[in-house]
C-alpha cells in the first residue's frame, strides 16, 4: 500500500494545477493557447552562464559536489546577503539547495516540529501550505486586505501568532506583487520578537522591484538570528530549470540542514553551482536585464486597466505577475480562468489557488514576448467587459 503522507499535502486537493494541466493538454492537442500561468520567463538563461555551465561540466565538475554547496558559492551568497543587509554573513550561514522550493522545505524543517503551527501570509505562493504540511506542521493563513495593498497587518499577525513556531513572509510577493514597506517589516519584527518566532523570508523576487525598495528581513535590528532567508536564481537569472537556491541563517540551523540535505538531496550538481557562482559574480546587470520586460508588461496591463471599469488591480510593486480583481464580472477567479481558457484560449491562474484572500481574482504572469502578451491581455480585457 502507498502511504497517505503525500496525498494530504494539497489540502483541498487542487492548488491551481488542474487548470494549468488543462491548458497544457489543449496546447499539446494543437490549440494556440496563450499561457500566462506559471512564473517562467519567455527567455532562456543568459548564454554566458550556459557557457560557464558547459565549461565546468567539461572540466570534470560532474561528480558528487560538497553537500552544503561548494565553498566559493556559499561565500558568494554570503557576500550578496552581507551587502544587502549590512549584517555579517559567512559561508557557515549558507546552505545551497536545489532551488527555492527545496530551501522552503528545509527552512520549515529547521524551524518546525510536527504539530507546530506555521504562519503564512494569504495570498501566498501556491505550494506554501503543502510545504508546511510536508514537515508535519500545521499551516495557519493570515489574510491581508487589498485596502492596505496586501501588506501584512501587525494586529492580525499578533492575533494568529500565539503558540506558533514560524512565520513565512514573501516580499516582493507572489501573487500580489506587494513589496513590504518599512512599517510592515517593523510590525512583523515586533510580533516575531514577542512570540519568539522564526521568520522564513522568501526573497526569490528580490531583483524584481518596480516601486519602493526591497529590504531583506535579516537587515532589521535583532532579526538576523531568527531569520531563515530563502533565495534562488530561478527568477533573478532565468534559471528555473537549473534548480539552484539557498537557505541562509544562523550556523546552528544551517548545520542541521546540512544533515537533512545529506539524507535527502545530497547536494546540487557541481557544474550548476559553478554557473551560479559565475552568475552572482557577473554583477546586477544580468538580473536587471531579466527583470526589465516584466516592468514593461506590468505597465501594459495597467494601461488596459485604466481604459475600463470592470477589472481592477492593486498595481504590483514587484515580482512578475499582476493579480486582477474579477469580481465585477460576477465570476469567481476559477470561473473566470476556466471560461477565459475556453472562450479565448488565454490561460491565467485562478486566485483561489493562492489562498482565500485571493478569491475572486486571477493571476496574470508577465511571461510572454510583448506582441503575444499584448494579444493575450487584449483578449482577456475584451472577454471581461463583454
Binding site for ligand PLP (CB under 6 A): 39, 99-101, 125, 170, 174, 202, 204, 232, 234, 240, 245
- Cell numbers representing residue 260 in the block: 537533512
Whichever of 165 and 234 has its CB closer to ligand PLP, that residue is 234
Whichever of 144 and 170 has its CB closer to ligand PLP, that residue is 170
Give the whole-angstrom CA distance, residue 106 versus residue 256.
9
Output the smallest distance, CB 276 to ligand PLP, in A: 12
Element (DSSP H or E) covering residue 205: none
CB 256 within 8 A of CB 270: no
Give the whole-angstrom CA distance, residue 330 versus residue 135.
38
Output the smallest distance, CB 167 to ligand PLP, in A: 15
Whichever of 125 and 271 has its CB closer to ligand PLP, that residue is 125
Whichever of 97 and 329 has its CB closer to ligand PLP, that residue is 97
Contacts of range 222-226, beta carbons closer than 8 Å, 24 or more positions apart: 222/189, 222/193, 223/189, 223/192, 223/199, 224/85, 224/87, 224/250, 225/250, 226/192, 226/196, 226/197, 226/198, 226/199
Task: Please give the residue whose beta carbon sits closest to ligand PLP in the complex.
Answer: 100
Output the smallest distance, CB 160 to ligand PLP, in A: 20
Output the smallest distance, CB 324 to ligand PLP, in A: 18
Burial 168-188 (b: 16+ CB within 10 A, else e): bbbbbbbbbbbbbbeebbebb
Give the whole-angstrom CA distance, residue 70 versus residue 33.
41
Output the smallest distance, CB 170 to ligand PLP, in A: 5
Output the smallest distance, CB 39 to ligand PLP, in A: 4
Whichever of 293 and 381 has its CB closer to ligand PLP, that residue is 293
Which distant-in-sequence residues (6+ apart) come within 8 Å of 241 by Cβ? none
- Cell numbers representing residue 207 in the block: 531583483
Whichever of 277 and 304 has its CB closer to ligand PLP, that residue is 277
Output the smallest distance, CB 221 to ligand PLP, in A: 25
Whichever of 61 and 235 has its CB closer to ligand PLP, that residue is 235
Q: Percentage helix, strand, coil, to 5, in the chain?
A: 45, 15, 40
Amino acid at each position: 500500500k502507498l502511504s497517505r503522507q503525500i496525498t494530504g499535502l494539497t489540502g483541498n486537493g487542487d492548488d491551481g494545477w488542474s487548470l494549468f494541466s488543462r491548458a497544457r493538454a489543449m496546447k499539446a492537442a494543437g490549440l494556440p493557447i496563450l499561457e500566462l500561468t506559471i512564473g517562467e520567463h519567455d527567455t532562456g538563461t543568459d548564454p554566458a552562464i550556459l557557457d560557464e555551465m558547459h565549461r565546468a561540466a567539461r572540466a570534470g565538475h560532474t561528480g558528487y559536489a560538497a553537500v552544503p554547496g561548494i565553498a566559493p558559492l556559499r561565500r558568494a551568497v554570503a557576500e550578496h546577503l552581507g551587502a544587502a543587509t549590512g549584517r555579517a554573513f559567512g559561508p557557515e550561514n549558507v546552505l545551497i539547495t536545489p532551488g527555492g522550493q527545496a530551501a522552503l522545505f528545509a527552512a520549515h524543517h529547521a524551524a518546525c516540529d510536527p504539530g507546530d503551527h506555521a504562519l503564512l501570509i494569504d495570498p501566498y505562493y501556491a505550494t506554501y501550505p503543502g510545504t508546511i504540511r510536508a514537515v508535519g506542521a500545521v499551516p495557519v493563513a493570515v489574510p491581508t486586505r487589498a485596502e492596505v495593498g496586501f501588506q501584512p497587518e501587525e494586529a492580525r499577525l499578533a492575533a494568529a501568532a500565539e503558540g506558533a513556531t514560524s512565520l513565512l513572509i514573501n516580499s516582493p510577493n507572489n501573487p500580489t506583487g506587494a513589496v513590504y514597506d518599512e512599517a510592515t517589516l517593523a510590525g512583523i519584527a515586533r510580533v516575531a520578537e514577542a512570540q519568539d518566532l522564526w521568520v522564513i523570508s522568501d526573497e526569490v523576487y528580490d531583483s524584481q522591484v518596480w516601486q519602493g525598495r526591497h529590504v531583506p528581513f535579516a537587515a532589521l535590528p535583532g532579526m538576523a538570528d531568527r531569520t531563515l532567508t530563502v533565495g534562488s536564481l530561478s527568477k533573478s537569472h532565468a534559471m528555473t530549470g537549473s534548480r539552484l537556491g539557498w537557505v541562509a541563517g544562523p550556523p546552528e540551523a544551517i548545520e542541521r540542514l546540512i544533515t537533512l540535505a545529506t539524507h535527502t538531496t545530497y547536494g546540487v550538481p557541481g557544474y550548476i553551482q559553478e554557473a551560479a557562482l559565475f552568475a552572482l559574480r557577473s554583477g546586477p546587470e544580468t538580473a536587471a536585464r531579466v527583470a526589465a520586460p516584466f516592468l514593461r508588461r506590468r505597465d501594459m496591463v495597467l494601461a488596459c486597466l485604466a481604459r475600463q471599469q470592470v477589472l481592477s488591480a492593486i498595481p504590483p510593486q514587484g515580482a512578475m505577475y499582476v493579480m486582477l480583481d474579477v469580481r465585477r464580472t460576477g465570476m469567481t477567479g476559477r470561473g473566470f480562468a476556466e471560461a477565459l481558457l475556453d472562450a479565448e484560449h488565454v490561460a491565467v491562474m485562478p486566485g483561489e489557488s493562492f489562498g482565500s484572500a485571493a478569491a475572486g481574482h486571477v493571476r496574470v504572469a508577465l511571461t510572454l514576448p510583448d506582441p503575444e502578451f499584448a494579444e493575450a491581455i487584449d483578449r482577456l480585457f475584451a472577454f471581461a467587459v463583454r
